[in-house]
């Protein structure tokens, strides 16, 4: 098996690496890094690939191997702002980083399957601060639902990472001047916790209420994300694989969008 992971050093990239090696110990894995060092676990590292640099995608378009999988992990957007307040410019900027390069690469190097990463962007707890990223995650899932033979999405619950801790810190800094965060900060004041602990406690309670429902729930771990990748590698035909703690299930349809995302098709065009 041969695979290319764009963004191999982050949690998603490392989980993809682990799953590939578990599934096929002989897998040949190329992984990109925005820096000059090696990506842990990869067979080959493609260095200095910064998606903000247009030349990075041009370089990857020349990748000559016949791939079984392309995993595309980069994510960027106006996180911290309400989804309903995202502007078309913010959404287009996020799409230019998170989605458009993946499609360009897929069309250039023609892997058998392209794998993207999404989230529960349509649930209430993320609508408050997921900003432009929500629309891009929706567009990514739409692409997969319409082209399931080429694209798959791993829709992953919140997990503790450098990126999610960063989101928590950003929200804490924004809170003094952001009215939409007032309800969250009132809960924080009542909690008596450090903000970092409160943030993940809040997310876990919201995921249990709004996603897990009556199913067993715990916050998602890297082991769970590896398990989601393994289900995909074993040939799951559905375009969306959900991972929420130890719960993994597949879906073939897009979610019903909340009123906050009523402009989705307009803002993405």
Mean pLDDT by runs of 10 across the 269 residues of the chain is 96 97 98 93 95 90 93 85 93 95 96 98 93 96 98 95 82 82 89 91 95 94 98 98 97 97 94
Distance CA 14, CA 131 (A): 26
CA–CA separation, 116 and 27 (whole Å): 20
Longest dimension (CA), the chain: 56
Q: In what order do the strands lie in the sheet with 247-251?
A: 44-46, 28-32, 2-6, 69-72, 113-118, 151-156, 240-244, 247-251
Q: Can you tell me the distance from the alpha carbon of 29 to that of 44, in angstroms, rounded to the nearest whole number?
A: 6
The residue to which tokens 């962007």 are assigned: 121
CA distances from 252 to 226, 231, 237 (A): 21, 15, 9
pLDDT at 251: 98
Residue 13 has what pLDDT?
96
Q: Are 85 and 128 in contact (CB under 8 A)?
A: no
| Per-residue model confidence (pLDDT) at position 76 | 79
Mutual angle of helices 195-207 and 162-174, in 10-degree steps: 110
Give me the pLDDT at residue 52, please: 87
Length of the chain: 269
Q: Secondary structure of the chain: what % helix, strand, coil (to 5)?
A: 50, 15, 35
Helix ranges restricted to H, the chain: 11-23, 54-61, 88-98, 100-109, 124-127, 133-146, 162-174, 182-191, 195-207, 222-233, 264-268
* Tokens 């692409």 found at: 143
């Amino acid at each position: 098996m041969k695979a290319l992971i764009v963004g191999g050093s982050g949690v998603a990239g490392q989980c993809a690496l682990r799953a590939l090696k578990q599934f096929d110990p002989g897998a040949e894995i190329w992984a990109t890094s925005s820096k000059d060092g090696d990506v842990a676990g990869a067979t080959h590292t493609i260095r200095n690939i910064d998606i903000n640099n247009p030349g990075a995608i041009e370089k990857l378009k020349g990748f000559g191997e016949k791939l079984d999988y392309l995993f595309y992990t980069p994510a960027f957007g106006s996180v911290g702002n309400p989804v309903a307040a995202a502007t078309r410019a913010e959404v287009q900027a996020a799409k230019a980083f998170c989605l458009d390069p993946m499609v360009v690469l897929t069309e250039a190097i023609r892997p058998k399957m392209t794998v993207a990463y999404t989230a529960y962007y349509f649930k209430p707890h993320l609508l408050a601060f997921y900003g432009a990223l929500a629309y891009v995650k929706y567009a990514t899932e739409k692409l997969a639902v319409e082209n399931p033979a080429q694209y798959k999405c791993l829709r992953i619950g919140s997990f503790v990472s450098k990126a999610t801790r960063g989101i928590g810190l950003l929200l804490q800094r924004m809170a003094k001047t952001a009215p939409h965060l007032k309800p969250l900060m009132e809960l924080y004041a009542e909690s008596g916790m450090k903000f970092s602990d409160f943030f993940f406690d809040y997310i876990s309670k919201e995921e249990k209420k709004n996603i897990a429902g009556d199913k067993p729930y715990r916050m998602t771990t890297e082991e769970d994300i590896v398990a989601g990748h393994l289900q995909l590698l074993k040939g799951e035909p559905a375009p969306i694989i959900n991972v929420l703690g130890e719960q993994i299930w597949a879906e073939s349809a897009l979610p019903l969008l909340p009123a906050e995302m009523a402009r989705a098709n307009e803002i993405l065009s």
